[in-house]
Structure 1
Amino acid sequence: MGAIDLNADLGEGDGPWRLEPPGDEALLDLVSSANVAAGYHGGDAQTMAVTCAAAVVRGVAVGAHPSYDDRDGFGRRRLDVPADVLRAQVAYQIGSLVAVAASVGARVTHVKPHGALYNAVVHDAEQARAVVEAVATTDPTLTLLGLPGSRVLTLARAAGLPVVGEAFVDRGYAADGTLVPRGRPGALVVHPDEAAERAVRMAVEGLVTAVDGTVVELTAASLCVHSDTPGAVAIATAVRAALAGAGIDVRPFVVPAHPGLGPRSHDAAAPGGVDPHAER
């Protein structure tokens, strides 16, 4: 059937927002890409180093997971940050992870905004542009992960950045293809079997059923399970098994680049030959 990436947001540390202890080690055995917190919403230098080193041992791709400067709110509060400030903050976080990753023999391959920032750049052109400029000026070979059809992916593609659309196996969708805000009914999918069934449908058909019953089209080359979703390890285990059962290989979206450029993330088709970057 093909292949797809399975990513998780890791290295975020402990805190009152956690419903259970983090399962980073176990998740690293299951995912193919790790989005590592860079200190603004969770994690710290040592956690970054440990997480990156553990990812390298397992052949898991390493990505930066920048957020608003909102550690107290775990980066899940929308902030009206001026574009120049946000650009500098995102660049700072990417650069920090790049340096720490290099110190343990890892190379950063992608960037995925966290939490409220991720949701903001779906529609907010100013903040989306700030994120794109931060990535482009830090390292234009880095792949930017985002919601299919989002403003940030459109701007990134126009800027020549490699992009990958992702889908969430543990989050509810609204009829417009955006995520149901946390705290509202249907925001989380916590049953492993349900998440696994959704993952296969996302990978094979490019479809997900929204909380109101609408069937939503999405095209994703990466699936995400959050490390702080209750039962995250069980969910990821079920997803891996279901994808394998459907003949779908789980592997990072990293391929050799042109000579002299080093590894970079790909811009290839999702399972079944579907372009993961088509606006739908």
Structure 2
Amino acid sequence: MFFLMSADKHSRPKSLSIEEEQFMRVFYENKLQEVCNNFHFPHKIQATALIYFKRFYLQWSVMQHNPKNVMLTCIYAACKIEENHVSAEELGKGISQDHQIILNYEMIVYQSLEFDLIVYAPYRSVEGYVNDIEELFHENAEMLQMLKATASLDVDKIMLTDAPLLFPPGQLALAALRRSNEVHGVIDFNSYLDSILSRQNSTHTISELYEGINAIESLVNRYAFPSEKDLKHINRKLKSCWGLGSNDESKKREKKSKHKSKRSSNEMQNRPLHN
């Protein structure tokens, strides 16, 4: 009895830890950006797809839904909502995947997002702030373009963290611009933040604004990408959770082979004898 219980215990797939789940999401969020870049999609599509992916896994586990399938469907859905339609066939063909998987997952993704599909990304806010800086400080166009370009790259990094789920697009844009300004030194950024609050008659204090921007920067600085060794280990555990382990596959093949042999044997026995 003890042997049976022990064997059953060892045969059960091991669940992923919270850290392992996070690593898997991080890996596919980076893949999502890579696919969008390869298709030359606008930043807005990339950002929308990332938010869809993040929100989907607020409700589900990667052990329940394959993140690769969800990732592709989120890109497909983002293209639709941002009116840059790409067919499922074209998307699937571009990365050598069966487009039917995307279509099968589409409604699951929409339902998980509760059909709330409008996403406000920080890229437009970056443009707005750069135009505002130009009017206030009269900086030359070349410096401002450098500031904007670097800030857009910083937004790409911010979008991979949890910050887009915790802070509004305006604060994400300011965090990216502050990081960019540290590189290029275009303006006195503290003075600019003071001017924003004074002109908007905001109820928020400057210390609250700094607190939010610092928290966003902290998330970027703490961001970690899984090692290849970690990914291999997590993938093995995931396949086991999905019932795709090598043992399961060999058992299925063995069972199929036995069934086929048994059927052939029965057919031979039941075949009529001819004189």
TM-score (norm 2): 0.25
Larger Rg: 2
TM-score (norm 1): 0.24
Where is the helix percentage greater, Structure 1 or Structure 2? 2
Where is the strand percentage greater, Structure 1 or Structure 2? 1
